[in-house]
């Protein structure tokens, strides 16, 4: 009986200690989540302020830091949409064309380069991979002048080609590296089974590797969309014709050096410009998390 009593009492001690620590753990979690909420509100305040400013009169935007406008000016959106030489939809369409070409180019070229580095054996593979990774450290300002000279000699300045064609040549080393890490995590037995079934390199790439790389492909698409949509520097250099300008350049057109900037319309169109980014990110968020978590990039 003594042995039975001791055996019954033994598991009760850890349970009692857990019950005693319960309130302390609950308090720590509450404080932790409270701090996270406060930090999130601090970080999201500029976005909320811009949204609020898009509905304020111009003389109230910088005079009142509050988030609730005293007078709701809905006309900021209609004025901003038609304030530039073209309706704002024209600039959205131009950005969409460049973004679509960039996404397709990166998905095709970067996945092919990654498959070659991860699965194929060819001379100087390690050195070429190291050189490719080294290009990540090159700032765009180093290569923009020779690139501009090249595209100018080709007659591509004031066209979309300088912003799309490089994506077809796997120039974004970050995405190549991301896909290489993902493909290396796939079992090689899949390649061997495909080879036994008669698949060559192209068949293995299209039928085996690509369907399994959906998280990495989605991550590439999301980052390409965000970076290309927000790109101001490259588009400013290559697109001088107002008919070809994109959303970042159109937002810059609202800024007037004489000091008569229509801030309400500017903030309204800035909110419109954020819409596609939020939509594309939310649509692919699940794949984005999986893609980053399974490529070794922590």
Q: State which of 141-150, 188-197, 276-285 shows the largest mean pLDDT.
A: 141-150
Q: What is the pLDDT of residue 297?
A: 44
Q: What is the pLDDT of residue 115?
A: 93
Mean pLDDT, residues 75-102 taken together: 92
Mean pLDDT, residues 222-245 taken together: 92
Mean pLDDT, residues 260-284 taken together: 86
Q: Confidence class of residue 20 from pLDDT cuts 50, 70 and 90?
A: low
Is the pTM value of this prediction over 0.95?
Answer: no
Q: What is the pLDDT of residue 14?
A: 60
Mean pLDDT, residues 251-257 taken together: 77
Q: What is the pLDDT of residue 107?
A: 95
- With a CB cutoff of 8 Å and minimum separation 6, the contacts of 262 are 58, 79, 80, 83, 254
pLDDT at 286 exceeding the cut of 80: no
Q: What is the pLDDT of residue 244?
A: 92
162-166, Cβ contacts within 8 angstroms, sequence gap of 24 or more? 162/234, 162/238, 163/98, 163/101, 163/102, 163/228, 163/231, 163/234, 163/235, 163/238, 163/239, 164/98, 164/101, 164/102, 164/105, 165/105, 166/105
Q: What is the pLDDT of residue 104?
A: 95
pLDDT at 23 exceeding the cut of 70: no
Report how far residue 244's alpha carbon sits from residue 248's, in angstroms, rounded to the nearest whole number: 12
pLDDT at 183 exceeding the cut of 50: yes
User: Regarding predicted confidence, which is higher, 18 or 40?
Assistant: 40
pLDDT at 43 exceeding the cut of 90: no
Q: Confidence class of residue 21 from pLDDT cuts 50, 70 and 90?
A: low
Q: What is the pLDDT of residue 298?
A: 40
Q: What is the pLDDT of residue 296?
A: 46
Q: Report the share of the chain in percent with pLDDT over 70.
A: 86
Report how far residue 259's alpha carbon sits from residue 153's, in angstroms, rounded to the nearest whole number: 38
């Amino acid at each position: 009986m003594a042995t039975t009593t001791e055996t019954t009492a033994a598991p009760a001690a850890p349970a009692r200690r857990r019950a005693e620590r319960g309130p302390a753990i609950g308090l720590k979690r509450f404080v932790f989540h409270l701090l996270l909420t406060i930090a999130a509100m601090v970080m999201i305040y500029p976005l909320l302020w811009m949204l609020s400013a898009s509905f304020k009169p111009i003389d109230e935007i910088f005079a009142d830091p509050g988030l609730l406008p005293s007078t709701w000016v809905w006309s900021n959106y209609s004025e901003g949409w038609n304030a530039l030489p073209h309706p704002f939809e024209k600039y959205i369409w131009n950005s969409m064309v460049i973004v679509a070409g960039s996404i397709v180019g990166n998905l095709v070229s970067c996945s092919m380069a990654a498959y070659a580095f991860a699965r194929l054996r060819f001379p100087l593979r390690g050195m070429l991979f190291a050189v490719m990774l080294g290009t990540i450290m090159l700032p765009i300002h180093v290569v923009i002048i020779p690139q501009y000279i090249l595209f100018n000699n080709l007659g591509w300045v004031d066209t979309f080609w300088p912003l799309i064609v490089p994506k077809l040549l796997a120039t974004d080393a970050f995405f190549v590296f991301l896909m290489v890490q993902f493909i290396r995590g796939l079992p090689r037995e899949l390649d061997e089974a495909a080879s036994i079934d008669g698949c060559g390199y192209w068949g293995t790439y299209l039928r085996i590797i690509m369907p399994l790389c959906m998280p990495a492909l989605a991550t590439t698409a999301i980052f390409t969309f965000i970076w290309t949509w927000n790109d101001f520097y490259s588009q400013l250099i290559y697109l001088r014709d107002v008919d070809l300008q994109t959303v970042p350049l159109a937002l810059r057109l609202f800024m007037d050096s004489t000091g008569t900037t229509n801030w309400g319309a500017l903030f309204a169109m800035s909110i419109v410009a954020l819409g596609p980014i939020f939509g594309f990110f939310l649509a692919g968020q699940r794949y984005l998390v999986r893609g980053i978590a399974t490529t070794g990039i922590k």
